């Protein structure tokens, strides 16, 4: 008898996240899938003033702790994926509205909570003396 293993990926805060009056919607709330399949997580905010979208993974660490890691940044339509996530993770879409985190060929190490966040373009900082 063959028992298929399944993975559970949680999209954190299945309800809307409110950041400085910006509503960020993430779907789906939870994904159950089989190893080897592609998973697509959506993030939407619809405000052109927020041209950056960041994706984070909140997972288990050695010793029973939790760790949050930046997966990557989508600047307008240009993705930048962190070294530890290159190869299996892709960022697509437009950060000013709707974008996706695509995890190809999921495996057990991908079972975690995922967060997206939107960020405005900030001007340069000046140090006061």
* Per-residue model confidence as pLDDT tens digits over 103-124: 999 998 899 999 999 888 765 4
- Write the CATH number of the domain with boundaries 7-46+60-119: 2.60.40.10
Q: How far apart are CA 70 and CA 94, in angstroms?
A: 18
Residue 125 pLDDT: 47
With 90 as the cut, is the pLDDT of residue 79 above it?
A: yes
Which residue has tokens 């996530």? Answer: 85
Q: Where are the domains of the chain?
A: 7-46+60-119
Among 90, 81, 18, residue whose Cα is nearest residue 47: 18
DSSP string, 82-114: -GGGTTTEEEEE-TTSEEEEEESS--GGG-SEE
């Amino acid at each position: 008898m063959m028992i298929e293993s399944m993975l559970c990926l949680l999209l954190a805060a299945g309800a809307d996240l409110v950041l400085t009056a910006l509503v960020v919607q993430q779907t789906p709330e939870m994904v159950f899938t089989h190893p080897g399949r592609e998973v697509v997580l959506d993030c939407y905010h619809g405000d052109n003033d927020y041209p950056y979208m960041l994706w984070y993974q909140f997972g288990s660490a050695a010793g029973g702790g939790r760790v949050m890691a930046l997966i990557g940044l989508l600047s307008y339509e240009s993705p930048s994926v962190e070294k530890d996530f290159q190869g299996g993770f892709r960022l697509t879409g437009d950060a000013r509205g709707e974008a996706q985190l695509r995890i190809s060929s999921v495996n057990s190490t991908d079972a975690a909570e995922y967060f997206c966040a939107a960020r405005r373009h900030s001007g340069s900082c000046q140090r006061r003396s």
